[in-house]
Amino acid sequence: MRARLPNPSGCTSARRAFGFSLAAILAATCARSLCAQSPRELPNAPEAQAPFDLQAFRQPAQVFLVNDSRGGAGADNGNARIPDPPSEDNSVLTMLPHSEDARYWVSGQANSIFQMHGHFHSPYEDTNSLRDILEYKASEVATLYAGYQLRPNTRYNTDLIVDFENAGGRGISEALGLAGQTNLDVVRNPNLSTAPYLSRGEIHQIIGLTNRMASQDRSPLALATEVPLRRFEIRIGKMSLPDTFDINSVGTDSHLQFTNWTIDNNGAWDYAADTRGYTVGGILEYDDKVWSARYGIFAMPVIANGIDLDWAFNRANGQNWEFELRKGLFARLLSPKREGAVRVLSYVNHAHMGDYRESVQQYLSGQVTTPDITATERFGTVKYGFGLNTEQEVTDSLRLFGRFGWNEDQHESFAYTEVGQTILFGGDYNGHDWRRSNDKFGVAFVSNAIKKDHQNYLHYGGLGFLLGDGNLNYGREDIVEWYYNAHLWRGLFGMLGGSYIAHPGYNRDRGPVYIPAARAHIDF
């Protein structure tokens, strides 16, 4: 909701104009840079040197054994390797350098996304439809990351993390009418305040199970540069689940990669979150040489997609499990040096949710004139699902990734988006071949679906928190997104891209629609 994190819409006309201008100016600069700028060496996404890059700190730690308690080198670890030193041009991808030795961390980012669309085939529309008009909208989000190490780089490292955000702007059609929304930096509520808010407030505790230390990249969510090779990690406080679960180095960050909700995250994963994408809870994680396992429990919103959380964990909570193997599906066919990962996710939500099947039965029996999911909401309702997430480095420039997600979809989509099943595949290619290895081109295809109970609910005129055309001639919502992200200077990036969407809102009677996009991003 990752960016990867959903953020609020709603801002003044001046702010919208600023977001549009910033994105348009930097997009034009990006285009001129591609044609006229002298070539420079730039980094691939998983190796980006910007230590506060959201995509980078959602990566699992890249662990390289450096020593052990006996003072010897860790050469006996068959999975350890020494990272290549960064080239001169790769050394600074921020506007300001950051210390690797200080106990504190201070950094920031700003992101602006501009999107638009024209007219498309639309014989009818309703409250929650993608509008058949000429639309152009811009979003802006700025984040301040701050952290402090109480016990730096020890077996029992402790981090205190406090982040603040300021978000504004609107999505096309007020972020309605699509299950695979095209801008992860906006959400559905345009009435939220644009004042800065606390996005994260965490205690991050490491409990080492060995004195053998390993190096890891420093980031706003993990300040240690050395960690025990085998360890528990505990996080407690306010956080966003996609910071830790369902990460993917190819498709995970709306600030430098794709922007679609169901490409950056698993669309069938209805993860616990308020309207802005944050919740309160805790995570327990075990990390070993090539695998990790994690469990988390979190507060659910009081109402579907609401800003207020239900603090009674005994009646409402979201529980998540994930197993991660840091070896790709094709590791045996490719060089052992080629990085990859496979992650298996499951979740169970308990909340005050409704039932699509029961809502349709009420309508067909004449109890209501239109199906209403809120009329069937009750405590004790359970929604569950599963996900598969994989990535594989194929060459020095090419990486592939994919996701599959499923949930039972009889009960109400409550926190993220209205998807019952999703399948995704895509990849990215860095600009090494044209001497711009920090530039990146990406393309992905995602196909989203809902099940019969959910289909019937929308067909008879029911409304979800995202969808509702007043009728439904069902078809899978198929989306292709592409982008070219260019490194302009130090921490400044510009992107041009677009999305092609067939059957928006699962409706064969509407679409297709094409949505061009431009993005400006800066890291401090």
Cα separation, 262 vs 251, in Å, equals 10
368 with 376: CB under 8 angstroms? Answer: no
Q: What integer pLDDT is reported at residue 310 of this predicted model?
A: 97
Least trusted range by pLDDT, from 47-61, 89-103, 510-524: 47-61
What are the distances in angstroms from CA 182 to CA 115, 127, 138, 187, 365? 8, 19, 12, 11, 37
Which tens digit of pLDDT belongs to each residue from 153-168? 889 999 999 999 998 8
Which tens digit of pLDDT belongs to each residue from 214-263? 999 999 999 999 999 999 999 999 999 999 999 999 999 999 999 999 99
Which one, of 286, 215, 223, 222, lies nearest residue 63 by Cα? 215
- The yes/no answer on whether domain 13-523 falls in CATH 2.40.160.180 is yes
Domain ranges of the chain: 13-523
Could you tell me which residue, 85 or 372, shows the higher pLDDT?
A: 372
Q: What integer pLDDT is reported at residue 18 of this predicted model?
A: 39
Helix (H/G/I), strand (E/B), else coil: 360: helix
Cα separation, 1 vs 184, in Å, equals 6
Q: What integer pLDDT is reported at residue 90 of this predicted model?
A: 53
Which tens digit of pLDDT belongs to each residue from 27-55? 444 444 433 333 333 333 333 333 344 44
- With 0-12 / 13-18 / 19 or more C-beta atoms within 10 angstroms meaning exposed / middle / buried, residue 425 is middle
Report the percent of the chain where pLDDT is more than 90: 75
Q: Looking at the predicted structure, is the pLDDT value of residue 9 above 70?
A: no
The order of strands in the sheet holding 226-228 is: 64-67, 213-215, 226-228
Helix (H/G/I), strand (E/B), else coil: 284: strand
Residue 143: beta bridge partners? 109, 165
Torsion angles phi and psi, residue 397, rounded to 5: -110, -30
Which tens digit of pLDDT belongs to each residue from 302-336? 999 999 999 999 999 999 999 999 988 776 677 77
